[in-house]
Structure 1
Amino acid sequence: MPRIDQHIHIEWRGSTCRVKWWSGEYLPNGRKRYESKGGFTDEDEAFQHGQDKLYEIRHGTHVRNRDKATLMGDWLDDWLEAMDYAYSTEVAYRSRVETHIRPYFGRMAIGDIDTLTYRAFKKHIQQAVGATTAKNVLSTLGMILDDAVPRLIKVSPVERTKRRGKFTKPAKERKRDVSEETVEALARNARALLGEPGYVMIWTMAVTGMRPGELFGLTREYCYPAWPASDLRLDPKEADRYEEDLERYGKGGSLLPAIRVERQAQRTKRVKGAEFFPPKYGSHRTLVIPPFLADMLEGMLASHTSRWVFPAYRGGCLAAGDFNSDYWHEIRGGADERPKGPGVRIPRPAIPAVPEFQGKRMYLLRHSHKAWLDEELEHSRYAIEARMGHEMGGVEGIYSSVTVPMERAIMKTLQQRWEGFQERVAKDVES
């Protein structure tokens, strides 16, 4: 077959040849824009390369040479500018890019990032930071390179499955069974730092599985005993639900005491203090609560006037500060007495450590709530996942719903755990 193609040209330069092919574009002066590749020693091989490029252009899979030469730093700028995520997610992505990804790849052409380059970075980041941080950075890098396909690169160099090398079992956080006695110890320490709202907040998390940001952002309008009559009704599309909530939840008679998770609070740089955001993954939900917690919340809310159900020491939003360093580290780890005096922001008595929670996150109280419900095999799996703010896939997720009997069963289980705990306390006192 003759090697004839009006869009391909072969040029010999010394002992090697170069192939040029038409990119399908025109220069400003109207002439055809060509791309090229040199270094061939066989003219047939060069011609075949040109034909392959024309095939890619016709089928929309071609990446232009100048696009492959785009600096990773420039692509990172474009990628960050185009982000459209929740505020906290964007902050996390931007931090990973600026702290780890840009310093390593910034001046590298994106077309030069191949599988071996990716592996080298993976090894580097796993040695430089902790396992969780490394996993998050690699996940973000994978998204960035995936989004460069097919505009800047044909395929992403990120390896999605591990085919070679030694097997490393993923690290998993070790969890212990959390007893009511442990929750009580944490709650008493929280009371020493935050007053009665601190005590009730710990029990609320253990009994509802709410996320920390949801607790910090909980205001009176969405908490028992005011809700649902006090609901702000901000979404006209939810009009039917608002009316159904009044028939199902509330105080007295056959109504179920409940908390409504409508938002979370997070500290941001955009405003002083904290901002409201939708719950994680848009997991708006209603959480029935057992009678003992309903009584706690009602009494506690009558004791202060803050809009926040669980206010900080000086009455503001807990999300506006650093809860971990301000409170949680001492709630779980204990602390010496800090008497009131000059330079003391939060005076407090000595508080004992809670050994079961040494080095543990507050978030594990949420995990323990699910374990408490899972222990009672009578509960609907769908009702438990809905309570945790999780979406279930498949037929079960499509056809199931949370009914009043399901909610009453959950309330009964949680109330029985509290009463069993109180009986154990009473026996300890007697003995």
Structure 2
Amino acid sequence: MARINQHVHTEWRGGTCRVKWWSGELLPNGRKRYESKGGFTDETSAYKHGQDKLYEIRHGTNVKNRDGATLMTDWLDDWLDAMDHRHLTERTYRSAVETHIRPYFKKQKASVADIDILAYRAFKKHVNSKLKPGSAGNVMMVFGMILDDAVPRLIKTSPVERTRRRGKFVKKPKERKKDMTPEAVEQLARNARTVFGQAGYVFIWTMAMTGMRPAELFGLTREYCYPNWPGTDPRPDPEESERYEEDTERYGQGGELMPAIRVERQVQYADSKLQFFPPKYDSHRTLVVPPFLADLLAELLESHDRDWVFPAILGGSLGAVNFDYKYWRDIADGSDERSGPRTRGARPAIPAVPSFKGKRLYLLRHGAKAWLDEDGHSKFAVESRMGHEVPGVEGVYSSVTVPMERAIMKTLQERWDGLQERLTSKNV
């Protein structure tokens, strides 16, 4: 006999029992919309399942039958369409989905509800067998976000296994770095000059003195660089008019003005072409430079007519070439004598720089921060110069003052002057 209450009822069909429950929704004609599940062998179990569904509906944890049947490939489309991230982040997430996640679950024709803890572990095993640990971790991070966002509409709980810290603490390995010396930077700069001319020499010293990110340096154009800026600032944002006026009173050439570079953008590839994007974390900032670097930048811009401050060998943006492979490895690791159109004609042998051999270009940025820390500058001034947000009260109340900037210019110039004295004494 069927068991019925206001919102749940059971009925036998053949040799099994089916339960129907009200979904809490109404059809267009005003009648209640019911969902159902069959295959029960006893009426009590079927009725209890219906009551459980009503409980979930009341508490907002219910997954509708049609939602639970959503294919993983369809959910991936919805998830990608809803992304709102910076260009590089979105490109990374989309690559993980299209290269690894979608092909795996499309082949299985799996719904989101099919991905339980065992299916999650099977995919993790698959990814770990195909990729290096770092890349595999990135894919699993994206997959975890996709499953987390499916709760509670498509699945009740996420099957993602969270890492729990138990037992003895094991410190993660840290990249080994050597202290950055002015002598090492000078050798890198000379090597860079051999690779792509005076632009290379100034590029290295600019990164070491400002801590700018590579993509910010690749995208630096004349209007945002000393001696042109701030006079040539395009001033695109009317809401920044007060800052524009303050910049002209604080930075520039002559008198009490301080030479500076304005970080307004970086270059990245999107849609198969090089484009401008805001700097990472929207870290727009002004970077004062020491007098020697101001002179180098002015001389460099006078020597060529390109829009890019640091043009590549053929005159375009360094962001359009594989800088690490085409330039940096020779600059840091050294290379034999060679000749040809890609090396600006005959090129002499380049000596390796031991403290940077095999290391990343980004360590120049790390070294720039270490120099500022060594010189005792305020934490807020240092972090702001690096393009980092300073949390808490310090970040709210502090600001970078003119004396702070002049102190930074002074200590950076002293590093250069000390280097020149040592080189002169050695007749290098």
Are the structure 2 counterparts of residues 247 and 105 from structure 1 closer, same or farther at C-alpha, using a change threshold of 3 Å?
A: same
Structure 1 position 247, deviation (Å) = 0.7
Number of the residue aligned with 2:266: 264
1:74 & 1:400 partners in 2: Cα distance?
48
Of 367-376 and 32-41, deviating more is 32-41
Q: Deviations over 1:301-336 (max 9, x none)?
A: 111111110011111111122222221222222222
Q: Deviations over 1:188-235 (max 9, x none)?
A: 111111100111001101110101111011111111111111111111
Number of the residue aligned with 2:79: 79
Number of the residue aligned with 1:138: 140
Number of the residue aligned with 1:22: 22
Aligned with 2:426: secondary structure? Answer: helix
Q: Deviations over 1:314-362 (max 9, x none)?
A: 1111112222222122222222222136xx5754332122232233221
Structure 1 position 42, deviation (Å) = 5.2
Number of the residue aligned with 1:337: 337
1:168 & 1:37 partners in 2: Cα distance?
49
1:305 & 1:184 partners in 2: Cα distance?
26
Q: Deviations over 1:375-398 (max 9, x none)?
A: 223x11111111111111111111
Are residue 364 (structure 1) and residue 363 (structure 2) matched? Answer: yes
Number of the residue aligned with 2:216: 214
Q: Is the 8 A contact 1:267 1:321 kept in 2?
A: no
Output aligned runs, 1:219-298, within 5 Å. Answer: 219-271=221-273, 274-298=274-298
Number of the residue aligned with 2:9: 9
Q: Is the 8 A contact 1:211 1:366 kept in 2?
A: yes
1:245 & 1:64 partners in 2: Cα distance?
58
Structure 1 position 17, deviation (Å) = 3.5
For 1:212, give the aligned amino acid. Answer: P
Q: Deviations over 1:236-270 (max 9, x none)?
A: 11000001011111111111111000111112335
Are residue 404 (structure 1) and residue 402 (structure 2) matched? Answer: yes
Root-mean-square deviation over aligned CA pairs? 2.4
1:355 & 1:160 partners in 2: Cα distance?
41
Aligned with 1:306: secondary structure? Answer: coil
Aligned with 2:268: secondary structure? Answer: strand
Q: Is the 8 A contact 1:267 1:275 kept in 2?
A: yes
Number of the residue aligned with 1:350: 349
Structure 1 position 52, deviation (Å) = 1.9
Aligned with 1:429: secondary structure? Answer: coil
Q: Is the 8 A contact 2:380 2:395 kept in 1?
A: yes
In the superposition, the TM-score normalised over structure 2's length comes to 0.91
Aligned with 1:52: secondary structure? Answer: helix
1:181 & 1:127 partners in 2: Cα distance?
44
Q: Is the 8 A contact 1:224 1:298 kept in 2?
A: yes
In the superposition, the TM-score normalised over structure 1's length comes to 0.91
Q: Is the 8 A contact 1:209 1:370 kept in 2?
A: yes
Q: Is the 8 A contact 2:10 2:19 kept in 1?
A: yes
Unaligned segments of structure 2, at least 5 residues: none
Of 282-291 and 122-131, deviating more is 122-131
Number of the residue aligned with 1:194: 196
Output aligned runs, 1:88-237, within 5 Å. Answer: 88-106=88-106, 107-162=109-164, 169-237=171-239
Of 14-23 and 170-179, deviating more is 14-23
For 2:419, give the aligned amino acid. Answer: F
What stretches of structure 1 move > 6 A for 4+ residues in a row? 164-168
Structure 1 position 126, deviation (Å) = 3.2
1:364 & 1:145 partners in 2: Cα distance?
36
Q: Is the 8 A contact 2:4 2:10 kept in 1?
A: no
Unaligned segments of structure 1, at least 5 residues: none
Between the aligned residues of both structures, percent identity stands at: 68
Output aligned runs, 1:38-53, within 5 Å. Answer: 38-41=38-41, 43-53=43-53
For 2:423, give the aligned amino acid. Answer: V
For 1:380, give the aligned amino acid. Answer: S
Structure 1 position 41, deviation (Å) = 4.9
1:428 & 1:168 partners in 2: Cα distance?
47
Structure 1 position 283, deviation (Å) = 0.5
Are the structure 2 counterparts of residues 374 and 127 from structure 1 closer, same or farther at C-alpha, using a change threshold of 3 Å?
A: farther
Number of the residue aligned with 1:425: 423
Number of the residue aligned with 1:394: 392
2:207 & 2:51 partners in 1: Cα distance?
64
Are the structure 2 counterparts of residues 180 and 127 from structure 1 closer, same or farther at C-alpha, using a change threshold of 3 Å?
A: farther
Number of the residue aligned with 1:380: 378
Q: How many residues align?
A: 423
2:100 & 2:142 partners in 1: Cα distance?
11
Q: Is the 8 A contact 1:20 1:37 kept in 2?
A: yes
Structure 1 position 44, deviation (Å) = 3.5
Q: Deviations over 1:73-108 (max 9, x none)?
A: 111122222323222222222111111111222332
Aligned with 1:401: secondary structure? Answer: coil
Aligned with 1:9: secondary structure? Answer: strand
1:195 & 1:306 partners in 2: Cα distance?
14
2:344 & 2:197 partners in 1: Cα distance?
11
For 2:234, give the aligned amino acid. Answer: L
Q: Deviations over 1:32-77 (max 9, x none)?
A: 4432334545543432321121122233321112212211111112
2:162 & 2:390 partners in 1: Cα distance?
25
Structure 1 position 136, deviation (Å) = 1.8
